[in-house]
Structure 1
């Protein structure tokens, strides 16, 4: 080898060892880990115990990358999702958990993967005045967990959080509905209150929603729907302050609550198994 060629060879070797991401066009490229899968997995577990969750997640991924057919590979995927969740890397956690459910549906850790997805969205839920995209995604994920894994150890917490999320989403719908109502945009307001009555009947928001429907329909002169909303409210929540208000609104026009069979409110309420 000539002296002129030697420095270039050394430089190339240095790039391969110290900057392989750049030479292959990707900063994320990593050297192959030739350790046995149980060793890599054990290293990741130690990182979890030490609270180094993001590093642990990447280490778990190394098991699947380098030993995809090993016994540890399957569980390493869901453990990577868990470690990403603990690290606050929620998008990465959802991605890893989704991958697990796609590759290994119905296996032992499936409920854990589904729970990680739900929790990752739940951690980003905001107050009722803000956009509820994450709340809806979390609710959908928890509902799926309860449907597919009713006996899961995560089911009790999932059911409790699903109730919280339903009330939060319903409260958000009410917030927007009141906004439209106060600006005399009655049709837009009705659409929001209708969502609460149709989809969130078990929440604390439904009483006010029925009263606001009475108010909005009266403003539009759609008496039958206003009477029905008040009647359903009175039948199911006779002691509610909202029923007293709805009853008073009708009384000012010489009307009383009366349920009409053709009303969407009657059909929706009965269709959802309500009295």
Structure 2
């Protein structure tokens, strides 16, 4: 009897503890939302969310904006709350959620007067994908990263420019598209340098040609031409080599790989043939003396600095 009574007592205490924890969690949720249970009107949700947005309380603002839409889907503030939810997700570094919220707004309100903002935010969220707190405060070369998000962002901004060329966001979108195009072109140069390192000269030359054909007037074009000259030289294709060199000398005579007498410095980029056996067998795992590659950004790309993130200040 005593043992059974003790067990009953422990059960009661355990249930009381669990109940207290659940009540505390519920109270925490209420306090996070910031509204007393009896005053959760549409206007109260919206005004609280506005205060939280102004004070950068993104998590709480998201909760109130979502609660507003869930409870008042056809209310006076529903559409505006959907737009501000896109922004809140973006500022909270939830880029995928921001893009999804923008897609939803476009689908629900294709003729809305502010639908251009949703298109713009899709591009902006993809533009900053992968640039979290660490990348914002520490130097990093975004041109050497996977270009998937950059391509996606460029496509979203292109949609905005095509559908709403007179949008108030068009000018900023155009600047970002220029930056993204430069970034994508530079990524191709990185790939070409990698192919040189592996001895894949045809693949490297093709990357250079791709840049020249698809990313004209970008700062990567000089290096693309140098890549073509080097690649065709190593493959013993003198006609193609001469054509690429002629274009390079006529347009970029100051390229670092061009000698003072106008000839091309073929030793500027050292190929894998000069590496040790250990380097070739281990694919460079134990010897890191990689060639410098073609990278003339300091000369042809004024916004680039090796000590800073290559993002123009006006696009931060």
The answer to whether residue 221 in structure 2 is matched with residue 221 in structure 1 is no
Aligned to 1:63: 68
Change in CA separation of 1:107 and 1:223 when aligned onto 2, cut-off 3 Å: farther
Residues 115-149 of structure 1: per-residue CA shift (max 9 Å, x gap): 22222222235522222222222222222222222
What's the CA shift for 1:86?
1.4
**Alpha-carbon distance in structure 2 between the residues aligned to 1:190 and 1:33:** 69
What's the CA shift for 1:199?
2.2
Larger RCO, structure (CA 8 Å, separation 6 or more): 2
Aligned to 1:107: 112
Residues 250-270 of structure 1: per-residue CA shift (max 9 Å, x gap): 9xxxxxxxxxxxxxxxxxxxx
TM-score, reference length from structure 2: 0.62
What's the CA shift for 1:231?
3.9
Q: Which consecutive unaligned segments of at least 5 residues does structure 2 have?
A: 1-11, 27-36, 132-140, 266-316
Aligned to 1:120: 125
What's the CA shift for 1:70?
2.2
What's the CA shift for 1:39?
2.8
Residues 148-204 of structure 1: per-residue CA shift (max 9 Å, x gap): 222222222211121112112211210120121243211221232233123211211
The answer to whether residue 80 in structure 2 is matched with residue 75 in structure 1 is yes
Change in CA separation of 1:198 and 1:42 when aligned onto 2, cut-off 3 Å: same
Residues 230-257 of structure 1: per-residue CA shift (max 9 Å, x gap): 344455x164437956x6359xxxxxxx
Contact 1:57 1:81 in 2 (8 A): no
- 1:230-269 equivalences in 2 (<5 Å): 230-234=245-249, 237=251, 239-241=253-255, 244=258, 248-249=263-264
**Alpha-carbon distance in structure 1 between the residues aligned to 2:65 and 2:228:** 53
Contact 1:118 1:141 in 2 (8 A): yes
Residues 11-39 of structure 1: per-residue CA shift (max 9 Å, x gap): 9xx79x85999xxxxxxxxxx99944333
- 1:200-219 equivalences in 2 (<5 Å): 200-219=215-234
**Alpha-carbon distance in structure 2 between the residues aligned to 1:205 and 1:178:** 13
1:174 to 170, 175, 189: 189
Q: Which consecutive unaligned segments of at least 5 residues does structure 1 have?
A: 1-6, 22-31, 251-275
Contact 2:87 2:121 in 1 (8 A): yes
Change in CA separation of 1:20 and 1:238 when aligned onto 2, cut-off 3 Å: closer
1:164 to 175, 179, 185: 179
Q: Secondary structure at the match of 1:221?
A: coil
Change in CA separation of 1:90 and 1:67 when aligned onto 2, cut-off 3 Å: same
Contact 2:206 2:228 in 1 (8 A): no
**Alpha-carbon distance in structure 2 between the residues aligned to 1:45 and 1:154:** 22
Change in CA separation of 1:33 and 1:149 when aligned onto 2, cut-off 3 Å: farther
